Structure 1
Amino acid sequence: MPTLHTYDYAVIRVVPRVEREEFINVGVIVSCPSAGHLQAAIEIDEARLQAFAPQLDLVALRPWLDAIVAICEGRAEAGPIAQLPPRARFHFLTAKRSSVVQTSVTHVGRTREPAGIVEHLLERMVRVPR
């Protein structure tokens, strides 16, 4: 029987006007220490985001979202944070902040397939239901 892994995840949100606390989900971050797994994925529905916040500069937003993925992957160009242990990177990325790019509170789940959880969460939490 495959091992059942516990994982933590947070939803990545774009909050165009922080004072209004309105947001659109654009990605997820998943940490599964027992499987050595830390991954983030971003999917921006540009038409939806532009309808929600026409004043938002998507070109300026993209590098901030890409940095989350780079930090999770531990890329050198992502700076010293990306060189921390995976769990420390997850905690850094999910820390509470008041900015245009935020994360939800951290949630917990269990899976037999840590590699497939990001796709599952994107489908459930980010993509518009069909």
Structure 2
Amino acid sequence: MRTPYEYATVQAVPRVERGERINVGVILYCRPKDFLAVATHLEPGRLLALDPGADVDAVAVALAGWQRTCDGEGPARDMRQGERFRWLTAPRSTILQAGPVHTGLTTDPAADLERLVALLVH
């Protein structure tokens, strides 16, 4: 049986004032399957094409923070999955931002996460 899920792209914004961004991951939340995960792929060359002075290491550290939050580590340990998803996808003016939240139907959220990363990031 297919169940609903929500997802958003994770976007690197090396210079917030310029508004240029590249997709570096996807976060997917499926409440009925008790699933929350982020999958990321950072290509330094693409990021540096937007901003030759971009701090690639800082973006990688920020992506690792998204992973820890999805996993419920650190301050996120007391948050439910839905709360963590909403917190990560809330509007912000930082080096990583979430795109709009979209929905879909799935029987396998992990497989759909992989499919979306291949489609939207690679």
| Same fold flag (TM > 0.5) | yes
Percent identity over the alignment is 38
SS of 2:17's partner is helix
The two structures have a TM-score, normalised by structure 2, of: 0.94
* Deviation at residue 126 of structure 1 after TM alignment: 0.5
Q: Tell me whether 1:47 sits opposite 2:48 in the alignment.
A: no
The two structures have a TM-score, normalised by structure 1, of: 0.89
Q: Tell me whether 1:93 sits opposite 2:91 in the alignment.
A: no
Q: How many aligned residue pairs are there?
A: 122
The range that moved more, 46-55 or 84-93, is: 46-55
Give the RMSD, CA atoms, in angstroms.
1.1
Show structure 2 runs of 5+ residues with no match.
Answer: none
Dislocated runs of 4+, deviation >4 Å? none
SS of 1:30's partner is strand
Cα shift readout 1:27-84 (whole Å, capped 9, x = no counterpart): 0100000000000011001122122221001112211110101111112xxx222430
Aligned equivalents of 2:20 and 2:49: distance in 1?
A: 13
Equivalent residue number for residue 120 of structure 1: 115
Aligned equivalents of 1:18 and 1:52: distance in 2?
A: 11
* Deviation at residue 105 of structure 1 after TM alignment: 1.2
Answer with 1 or 2: which has the greater Rg: 1
Show structure 1 runs of 5+ residues with no match.
Answer: none
CA contact (8 A) 2:14 2:47 kept: no
* Deviation at residue 91 of structure 1 after TM alignment: 0.3
